Amino acid sequence: MRKILTAVVAVALGLGLAACGADGDRSAASGADATIDVGSLYEPQNLDNTGGGGQGVTEALNGNVYEGLFRLTDNGKVENLLASDYSVSGDGLTYTFKLRTGVTFHSGRALTAADAKYSLEKVIAPDSKSARKSSFGPISTIAAPDDSTLVVTLKSRSISFVYNLSYVWIVNPQNQSPTTTADGTGPYRLTKWQRGATLSLTRFDGYWGTKASNKEVVFHYFTDASALNNALLTNQIDLITSEQSPDALSQFTANSGYQVNDGASTTKLLLAFNDRVAPFNDVKVRKAVYSAIDRKKLLESIWGPHGKLIGSMVPPTDPWYEDLTSANPYDVDLAKRLLAEAGHAGGFAFTLDTPNYDPHPTVATFLKSELAKVGITVNINVISADEWYTKVFQKHDFAATLQEHVNDRDVVWYGNPDFYWGYDNPQVTQWVTQAEQAATADQQTALLKQVNQRIAQDAASVWLYLYPQIVVASTSVSGYPVNGLNSQFYVYGITKREG
């Protein structure tokens, strides 16, 4: 259950096999009739992005099967999609959206504003598990006065409102089984989901926009990075959406039959404290832990030359990024002094709840070794992803944990004292609120830079590193996204040449 996170990083030994062309088990078709075989470690938990479908459902269905009023492009821009136009009232509280005409669901029913209303209400419903649910807190009312008009009234300004709408899928209310079936408006329709193996998409001939460049896309799911890489090397798949085996990269970079793309990641690996409880309610203790960890050594041990150190929750692709890596430097002597000042000269012990999929156990062992140098004893408690969601995210029953956060623009969660890590700084909460209600992007950026600086000063969490985003593909395919912001992976532009 990968709700907020990216999952599975496995270190594997590749087999170094050269390859070109397709084997006998795959279609030899190319061009518009091609089948594109995509390899991934992220199978959906289910097919509902408000029902805990995880990052896998976003990767496979977002923008491919389901569409929003707006689309977040691979370079981070927001574009109109099912909304042909929109206007905002002078006070910034009322948004009026005009829907495109001639749009139908895959089942054949015409899209109406009532469907858009239903879809947005589904995201903010009490039982919704959408990661962006809280972002829509300013909504007051949603109305569909006619089939082509959606009107949303807010209680307060929300400068990110249109951006946040790019996360909302427009779904058919008549689909009674959204966790196992799909009925969207996108360039593909879901044709088959074989759990534990494949998910197949076929070009939707009734699509309102530009038709997909290929006839079919099949996502092949693997639980092991070594098997995934071997599938690419032996031509069972055409590309890997996100390479998670750094040791295997050399077999692709050294082979002219493959292209290794190092894109812009938004996935942060965190050592997240429960800032509500001792000793992590003390900023000096948090900063001591931060300075005791050689994060550069950790990143290089996992990813070699790939990835990036960051000093806050903000990746370089966010408008309010600043390099804050020096705010909490690696300095063992400083860590010891801070512990002494906090009354822990002899150190202390804590339990680190660690998800059971890689790289978490490896990272936990590294942290245990690093913190032992300053007298801190780490007891590693390995738990499943489901246990993490219940124990840590829902019940806040933990002292510290490891976790990835995949979304961009998610520094705002530090303005929510009820979020699982419990960071509670009234000034930060005020800045986050003011930033969302800002009249201009410049004002929003200035305020969120202040948030970045303060959470770094407070060592609200330890931001261990920013994952790389590495797409590895056969040179026979092109037109695939390379950045994968927020786990999305648009496949409709992928083409394949013969041979």
Shared-domain flag, residues 250 and 282: no
Q: 415 with 321, same domain?
A: yes
The secondary structure of residue 308, as a DSSP letter, is: B
Q: What is the DSSP string of 94-150?
A: EEEEEEPSS-B-TTSPBP-HHHHHHHHHHHHSTT---TTGGGGTTEEEEEEEETTEE
Beta strands in 155-240 (DSSP E): 188-194, 198-203, 216-221, 239-240
225 and 105 in a common domain:
no
Let me know whether 84 and 151 are in one domain: yes
Query: Is residue 179 situated within a structural domain?
Result: no
Domain enclosing residue 86, as ranges? 70-165
Question: pLDDT, tens digit, for every residue of 310-324?
Answer: 999 999 999 999 999
The string of pLDDT tens digits covering residues 315-364 is: 999 999 999 999 999 999 999 999 999 999 999 999 999 998 878 999 99
Through-space distance between the first and last CA atoms of the chain, rounded to whole angstroms: 39
pLDDT at residue 154 greater than cutoff 80: yes
Q: In what order do the strands lie in the sheet with 400-405?
A: 377-383, 349-355, 400-405, 268-273, 462-466
Residue 180 domain-assigned?
A: no
Is the domain of 109 the same as that of 147? yes
Please indicate, yes or no, whether residues 372 and 311 belong to a single structural domain of this protein.
yes
For position 115, which CATH number holds? 3.90.76.10
Residue 287 has pLDDT above 50, yes or no: yes
Q: Cα–Cα distance between 482 and 490 in angstroms, integer? A: 10
Do 474 and 437 fall into the same domain?
A: no
Count CB-CB contacts under 10 A for residue 30: 17
Residues 474, 371 within the same domain: no
The tally of domains found in the chain comes to 3
In a domain, 178, yes or no: no
pTM: 0.83
pLDDT at 499 over 80: no
208 and 335 inside one domain = no
Which is more confidently placed, 194 or 3? 194
> Could you tell me the CATH number of the domain that includes residue 214?
3.40.190.10
Assess if residue 21 is contained within a domain: no
Same domain, 364 and 311: yes
The pLDDT tens digits for 410-469 are 999 999 999 999 999 999 999 999 999 999 999 999 999 999 999 999 999 999 999 999
Q: Is residue 368 a part of any domain in this protein?
A: yes
Q: Are 428 and 405 part of one and the same domain?
A: yes
* Residues 191 and 288 both lie in one domain: no
DSSP 464: E
- Map tokens 């209680």 to a residue: 155
In a domain, 175, yes or no: no
User: What is the domain-level CATH number for residue 276?
Assistant: 3.10.105.10
